[in-house]
Amino acid sequence: MTALVILAGSILLLLLLIARWKVNAFLALLLAAFAVGVGNGLAPDAALKSMLKGIGDTMGSLALILAFGAILGKLIEESGAAHRITHWLTGLFGEKRIQLSIVITGFLVGLPMIYNASFLTLIPLIYTFSVLTRQPLMMLGIPLSSALSVTHGYLPPHPAPTAIAGMFGADVNLTLLYGLVLTPPAIFLAGPLLARCFRHVDVVPPPRFYTAREFKPEELPGLGVSLGTLLIPVVLMLTGAVVTMCWAPTGAIGKLVAFASDPTVALGTAVLAGLFTLGRARGRSMENLMDSVGAAVASVALVIFIIASGGAFKQVLIDSGTGKAIEQFAARLDWSPLVLAWCTAALLRLALGSATVAAITAAGVVLPLVQHSGVHPELMVLATASGSLMFSHFNDIGFWMFKEYYNVSIKQTFQIWTVMESIVAVVGLAGVLVFNAVLPARPVPTAAAQPRVFYLNSYHAGYAPSDEVQQAITQKLAGKAQLQTHHLDGKRQPSEAALRQNAAVALTAIRGFKPDLLIVSDDDAVKHVVVPHFRNGPLPVVFCGVNWDCAQYGLPTPHVTGLLEVVPVEEALRTLQRHFPAAKKLVVLSEDSTSERSNRTLLDPLYRRLGFEPAYALVADFAAWKAAFARTQAEADLVYLPTNGAIRGWDRAGAEAWVRNHLRKPVFTCDDFMLPYAVLGVTKVAREQGEWAAATALAILGGAKPADFPVGANRQSRVYLNADHAHRIGFQPDRDLAVRISSTAQNR
């Protein structure tokens, strides 16, 4: 609950900084982000790292999308293409039905395109409509934004509804049909009707984005050229969406379709085409065109920085546990699945900013609670997706785009944009509840044909080793069992308090799913879930990835068995002994952590049994690691780099440069993340853990007992050689090692 109080306080702080004290939004968001991080218990350097990650993740391709969108808009505006299209639409619909033309255009363009790209493509038309027809900017801008918001939030093939349709097992086409029924009332209430309330807001297109100009008819480009250039990104993205949904091509064709329909590529293609069709072909010099390009990029620079700082604010909320606090709160509520999904997504939108992330996260929270509720999965998709549009504020990209491009104040942005988004969200929930009352009840699946397996991953989606384990489990159980997956997030939230809280959420999900068997990977899930709740049955449990020994957890038991994760240190050392028979002094350079101190106790006898004299350099920060690495190159015969996960201030590029400049002795590792800094790597194969766990689970579900499977250890390994580092120390692999390296390279 503390995290939720801090979230509310951070929003109040932002309001004071921006509205009361007139601090620039870019600086205000950075200050608030840092304050939230420290307030939630992050160390100052961790808060800064989180902010930098958020800025990087948010910018990514978005910076190019915004820049390309601004350039395309500038070309459409300066060439007169916006005037040509505006005149055509006015003639087609009539001046009294301009809002209708904008809504239809926004719907058709927004259906295949992501919100940001479609907004940037169409904003020049809104400016031109407002100037030529003398209609208030808000009377035109709000209907456009509502149409784009509804298509982005409700309808496949947009990312959130498409992704959660797969999670809920919903029919995408039926989801689209229900969404299309809800679209007209949502757009009307949040668009034209809301716009009437703000028709007296006196704003004009910002000069940095639009310069009013009168064109003679002969100066305007043709309608075909104007529409053709404008619709290039629409056509590319629509084609990609249709082809993917109807055909799902793979191989080279699939890659080509994905590339061509990527928003960045689609907008970039339109820019290149526009430079010719609306520029060079109409007599503009390249110098003049590049002046326009420069002006367009400059105009959007502040928007990019504000959005980046919003990303920092969002990431700190995630890393400091606000999202998890909301998940835990929601999981305890005994509400209708539709209302629970909507509320969970709404609260997560408040914390996370991104509607897509909020929807997908909320779906994961409520999925175990609703799979056997009898609710239509298509309605669950719409409830979750519409809830994710609620409560847009400072950490949402769309909030800042609305403010900057419509030239309104922070207060007005809350009054218009936030209310508009919330109307769309509420209409979605109301429509879903009506559908639920009208549609015939969906039979609750008995699932008698397939057993249920719950997989608890100790870490988070995106952590490569555990992703590999999960992929193997998913593939092995496909068609043979119903699989539900949950992440404990132990890497990103490693404190005991956070793990206990996350374990409580996981336990609720497990009990809600009512599995026939539980699979867990890595120590955190075993320690915080299996040991206190399932060690003594009756639910059979299969674990994998437990480090070295499970006796510390009182395992195995008649109900629990598994596969240990043993790092192939002995294989690596024996390999190096063949090449460096005189090597005696082994220095272990690693993080100063509980696990590494435990590993010292476990591995010291192994080192000595192989004839080595072990020494240890356990460090806390990157500067100490660099100093210790330099010393090892003078003092050691061999250097082992186990891990760097808890080393503060780790700098990958800096570490690689340091190793290149100081490497003199054989350095090896058994950790995938340390491969860039080692001459030789011998690493475990994470997939082996998942395959063993899934195969054992199927055997137990088929009638075997956990006690029939003795606890074992992984056997597979991969060998990597860093050729540049090997050359520096004159290391030449023998024939056996060369064959292993070649085999690994072929199987990567």
pLDDT digits (tens, 9 = 90+) for 553-567: 899 999 999 999 888
DSSP code string of 106-159: HHHHHTTS-HHHHHHHHHHHHHHHHHHH---HHHHHHHHHHHHHHHHHHSTTSH
DSSP code string of 317-357: HHHTTHHHHHHHHHHT----HHHHHHHHHHHHHHHH--HHH
CA dist 193 and 199 (Å) reads: 10
The pLDDT, as a whole number, for residue 444 is 56
Mean pLDDT throughout 359-375? 66
- Is residue 229 assigned to a domain? no
C-beta of residue 133 within 8 angstroms of C-beta of residue 342: no
The residue with greater pLDDT, 133 or 190, is 190
Model pTM above 0.85: no
Do both 557 and 676 map to the same domain? no
pLDDT at 204 over 70: yes
Do both 534 and 635 map to the same domain? no
Do both 593 and 730 map to the same domain? yes
Do both 506 and 625 map to the same domain? no
pLDDT digits (tens, 9 = 90+) for 29-87: 899 889 988 888 888 888 898 888 878 876 765 688 778 888 887 888 788 888 888 88
Bridge partners of 667? 639
The pLDDT, as a whole number, for residue 745 is 39
pLDDT at 407 over 50: yes
543 confidence band (pLDDT: 50, 70, 90): very high
Mean pLDDT throughout 263-286? 90
Query: Three-state DSSP class for 169?
Result: coil
Q: Residue 666 is part of which domain span?
A: 569-685+715-747
Cis peptide preceding 443, ω within 30 of 0: no
pLDDT at 372 over 70: no
- What's the DSSP call for residue 530? I
The pLDDT, as a whole number, for residue 74 is 83
Do both 540 and 513 map to the same domain? yes
C-beta of residue 441 within 8 angstroms of C-beta of residue 380: no
Do both 614 and 732 map to the same domain? yes
pLDDT digits (tens, 9 = 90+) for 482-533: 888 888 888 777 778 878 888 888 888 888 888 999 999 988 899 999 999 9
C-beta of residue 388 within 8 angstroms of C-beta of residue 362: yes
- Is residue 269 assigned to a domain? no
- CA angle centred on 485, ends 480 and 489, rounded to 5°: 155
Query: Three-state DSSP class for 376?
Result: coil
The pLDDT, as a whole number, for residue 367 is 65
Do both 558 and 523 map to the same domain? yes
pLDDT digits (tens, 9 = 90+) for 119-132: 888 898 899 888 88
Do both 723 and 604 map to the same domain? yes
pLDDT digits (tens, 9 = 90+) for 82-125: 888 888 888 888 878 889 999 998 888 887 677 877 888 889 88
Q: What is the CATH number of the domain that holds 626?
A: 3.40.50.2300
- Is residue 240 assigned to a domain? no
Distance of alpha carbon 519 from its chain centroid, rounded? Answer: 25
595 confidence band (pLDDT: 50, 70, 90): low
pLDDT at 360 over 90: no
The pLDDT, as a whole number, for residue 748 is 35
The pLDDT, as a whole number, for residue 115 is 83
Do both 475 and 552 map to the same domain? yes
Do both 549 and 664 map to the same domain? no
- Is residue 697 assigned to a domain? yes
C-beta of residue 690 within 8 angstroms of C-beta of residue 469: yes
CA dist 570 and 406 (Å) reads: 65
**Backbone phi, then psi, for 7, in 5-degree steps?**
-60, -45
368 confidence band (pLDDT: 50, 70, 90): low
Number of domains in the chain: 2
Give the range with max mean pLDDT: 148-152, 468-472, 714-718. Answer: 148-152
pLDDT at 713 over 90: no
Do both 475 and 555 map to the same domain? yes
Do both 459 and 607 map to the same domain? no
- Is residue 551 assigned to a domain? yes
Give the range with max mean pLDDT: 138-147, 444-453, 672-681. Answer: 138-147
pLDDT at 597 over 90: no
Q: Give how far Cα 100 sits from Cα of 90, 116, 146, 191, 199, Å.
A: 10, 21, 12, 10, 16
Instruction: Using alpha carbons, select from 325, 380, 321, 387 the residue that is nearest to residue 357.
Output: 387
Mean pLDDT throughout 425-447? 83
The pLDDT, as a whole number, for residue 746 is 34
CA dist 159 and 157 (Å) reads: 6
pLDDT at 548 over 80: no
737 confidence band (pLDDT: 50, 70, 90): confident
The pLDDT, as a whole number, for residue 251 is 65
CA dist 604 and 583 (Å) reads: 16
Q: What is the β-pairing status of strands 452-457 and 517-521? A: parallel
pLDDT at 158 over 80: no
- 204, exposed or middle or buried, with CB in 10 Å at 0-12, 13-18, 19+? middle
- Is residue 548 assigned to a domain? yes
Tell me the pLDDT of the chain averaged across its residues: 85
Q: Is 353 left (phi over 0), alpha (psi -120 to 50) or beta?
A: left
What is the CB neighbour count within 10 angstroms for residue 533? 16
Q: Give how far Cα 416 sits from Cα of 139, 245, 422, 509, Å.
A: 11, 35, 10, 38
- Is residue 609 assigned to a domain? yes
- Is residue 101 assigned to a domain? no
Mean pLDDT throughout 313-327? 70
